[in-house]
Structure 1
Amino acid sequence: MAGTGTAVFFHAHPDDEALLTAGTMAMLSAQGYRVVLVVATAGERGLADLAPGEELGEARMAELYKSAALLGCARVVRLGYADSGLGADGGIAEDRPENAFIDADSEEAAQRLAAVLKEESAELLTIYDPAGGYGHPDHVQVHRVGKRAAEIAGTPIVLEATVNRDPLLRALRLVSKFYRFPDNFDIRSFESGYSPGEVITHRVNVRRYAKQKRASMAAHATQTAGGDGDRTLAMFLKIPWPLFRLVFGTEWYVRRDLPPGTRLKHPFDPAPKSPESGVTPT
Structure 2
Amino acid sequence: MPYTLVSFHAHPDDEALLTAGTLARAAADGHRVVLVMATVGEAGLAASADREDGRLGERRVAELRDSARALGCARVEWLGYADSGMASDPSGAPDSFAHADVEEAAARLAAILAEEGADVLTVYDPAGGYGHPDHVQVHRVGVRAAELAGTRVVLEATVDRRLLRRALALIARLPGIPADFAPSRFAAAYSAPEALTHRVDVRRFTKQKRAAMAAHATQAGADTGVRTLAVLLRLPRPVFRRALGHEWYVEHGRTPARPLLDDVFATLRDAPRG
On whether the aligned pair clears a TM of 0.5, the verdict is yes
1:41 match: 39
For residue 195 of structure 2, the aligned residue among 169, 194, 199 is 199
Distance of 1:191 and 1:134 partners within structure 2:
10
Runs of at least 5 residues in structure 1 that lack an aligned partner in the other structure: 274-278
Distance of 2:77 and 2:252 partners within structure 1:
26
1:97 match: 93
Report the alpha carbon displacement of residue 135 of structure 1 after superposing the two structures with TM: 0.4
- Deviation per CA, 1:176-207: give whole Å up to 9, x if none: 01133334454322110000111100010000
1:122 partner SS: coil
What is the correspondence of 1:152-191 to structure 2 with a 5 Å cutoff? 152-191=148-187
What is the correspondence of 1:93-242 to structure 2 with a 5 Å cutoff? 93-242=89-238
Q: What is the aligned-residue RMSD (CA, Å)?
A: 1.7
Matching residue's letter, 1:81: Y
What is the correspondence of 1:27-66 to structure 2 with a 5 Å cutoff? 27-49=25-47, 50-51=49-50, 53=53, 55-66=55-66
Report the alpha carbon displacement of residue 47 of structure 1 after superposing the two structures with TM: 1.5
2:200 partner SS: strand
Distance of 1:79 and 1:235 partners within structure 2:
30
Identity %: 57
- Deviation per CA, 1:47-88: give whole Å up to 9, x if none: 212355351100001000000010000000000000000143
Question: Are the aligned partners of 1:183 and 1:229 in contact in 2 as well (CA < 8 Å)?
Answer: no
Distance of 1:199 and 1:95 partners within structure 2:
33
Comparing 172-181 with 158-167, greater Cα deviation is found at: 172-181
Alignment of 1:79 onto 2:79: yes
Question: Are the aligned partners of 2:196 and 2:248 in contact in 1 as well (CA < 8 Å)?
Answer: yes
- Deviation per CA, 1:11-60: give whole Å up to 9, x if none: 00000000000000000000000000000000000121235535110000
Matching residue's letter, 2:216: H
Distance of 1:164 and 1:215 partners within structure 2:
23
Distance of 1:71 and 1:104 partners within structure 2:
29
Distance of 1:214 and 1:36 partners within structure 2:
19
Distance of 1:238 and 1:44 partners within structure 2:
25
1:134 partner SS: helix
Report the alpha carbon displacement of residue 94 of structure 1 after superposing the two structures with TM: 4.7
Question: Are the aligned partners of 2:83 and 2:91 in contact in 1 as well (CA < 8 Å)?
Answer: no
- Deviation per CA, 1:124-172: give whole Å up to 9, x if none: 0000000000000000000000000000000000000000011110010
Distance of 1:39 and 1:272 partners within structure 2:
27
1:80 partner SS: coil
For residue 270 of structure 1, the aligned residue among 259, 267, 274 is 267
1:149/1:195 Cα in 2 relative to 1: closer, same or farther (>3 Å)?
same
Question: Are the aligned partners of 2:130 and 2:189 in contact in 1 as well (CA < 8 Å)?
Answer: yes
Q: How many residues align?
A: 268
The runs of at least 4 consecutive aligned structure 1 residues that moved more than 4 Å come to 183-186
Question: Are the aligned partners of 2:13 and 2:216 in contact in 1 as well (CA < 8 Å)?
Answer: yes
> TM-score if structure 1 supplies the norm length?
0.91
Distance of 1:17 and 1:207 partners within structure 2:
17
Question: Are the aligned partners of 2:172 and 2:181 in contact in 1 as well (CA < 8 Å)?
Answer: no
Matching residue's letter, 1:27: R
Report the alpha carbon displacement of residue 228 of structure 1 after superposing the two structures with TM: 1.4
For residue 11 of structure 1, the aligned residue among 9, 12, 15 is 9
Question: Are the aligned partners of 1:182 and 1:232 in contact in 2 as well (CA < 8 Å)?
Answer: no
Alignment of 1:20 onto 2:18: yes
1:151/1:222 Cα in 2 relative to 1: closer, same or farther (>3 Å)?
same
Distance of 1:87 and 1:252 partners within structure 2:
25
